[in-house]
Structure 1
């Protein structure tokens, strides 16, 4: 039975719940909920294991805070003996508009502290990432407030559609592979 590690990046704590920066948590929650799983506290992360179509998904939401995400990633990768190619990290991305998702098999951290720590810990940027565009509609000097802010009422319907699509992307990634899933994901536009 093939096994996958699905990592949703975010920060623990009520003040971060459903913020732009925590979209990784929200996507992983939606995936686990759809497949009838539940999270439990474990080492360095909230963890859920779900099965779907003969595959096992170990889903984690690191409890290390964003800047130390690599520690949880590496611990669960090693503990579950999963290949790096069978991991998918879901992360917010300022450089992408809200209307976009971007799936890649590798790529830089693009200034994202969670990805930076994972890359440092793994010693490579060669691991699959699903980037959830959050846009960059904020005044100069207000990036932190924007990233840690809640979605506006106008953004919520698009965010919901994208979360549902991300759940399908995770399934497709496991069922048909990275290349085909990239082809079916990267050209989509959400409104």
Structure 2
């Protein structure tokens, strides 16, 4: 009898592990509030909103953020927009990774990047925070620099001492014209990350 229950337990454990491997936490970084909605720093939120618009998804406010679920080809996408403000993003990321028992390799953080020209997209599996406070907090909470991050270029077209004003300002008229195509490409990248894997996705999308 003991052997039977041990077999059942192991089977249940195996199924749970397999289910966890099919879950992905996709986190868009940004600041909550209408005044931040169209700022460069909120590109993470904007990309997730674009995905939600395309697939008719609805975000619901839950613990530490707004969450939406999407299923495709046996995979579950858990989209998270932290409501902790940018500098405390790690708290929400760690909570949802733990709650959903999602392996670290199935985490994707979407963030703005001053070191890339406008609209350039780049997927990396590790790296420094690059002075980005949201990434810095995530790195501290996860205690590692090895996690997938999707960087969206916002360029560095600001004068000395104006970085904060720049990232918290809205897109220019020219940028707005090109943003839709860049958002659609970003949605494609997210789907590829989940379905095709990080290496294939890097080869396909980086610099495009």
Do they fold alike, i.e. is TM over 0.5? yes
Alignment match, 2:164: 144
Q: TM-score, normalised by structure 1?
A: 0.96
The structure having more radius of gyration, on CA atoms, is: 2
Equivalence map 1:38-187=2 (5 Å): 38-187=58-207
Matched length: 188
Aligned-CA RMSD value: 0.9
- Equivalent-residue separation in structure 2 for 1:21 and 1:49 (angstroms): 24
Unaligned runs of 5+ in 2: 1-18
Whether the 8 Å contact between 1:93 and 1:132 is mirrored in structure 2 is yes
- Equivalent-residue separation in structure 2 for 1:14 and 1:66 (angstroms): 15
- The C-alpha deviation readout for 1:26-65, integer Å capped at 9, x for no partner, is 0011112222210011000001111112211110000000
| From 38, 47, 61, the counterpart of 1:18 | 38
Whether the 8 Å contact between 1:35 and 1:52 is mirrored in structure 2 is no
Alpha-carbon distance, 1:147 to partner: 0.2
- Equivalent-residue separation in structure 1 for 2:51 and 2:118 (angstroms): 20
- Equivalent-residue separation in structure 1 for 2:73 and 2:177 (angstroms): 29
Structure 2 counterpart SS, 1:10 = coil
Unaligned runs of 5+ in 1: none
Whether the 8 Å contact between 1:35 and 1:51 is mirrored in structure 2 is no
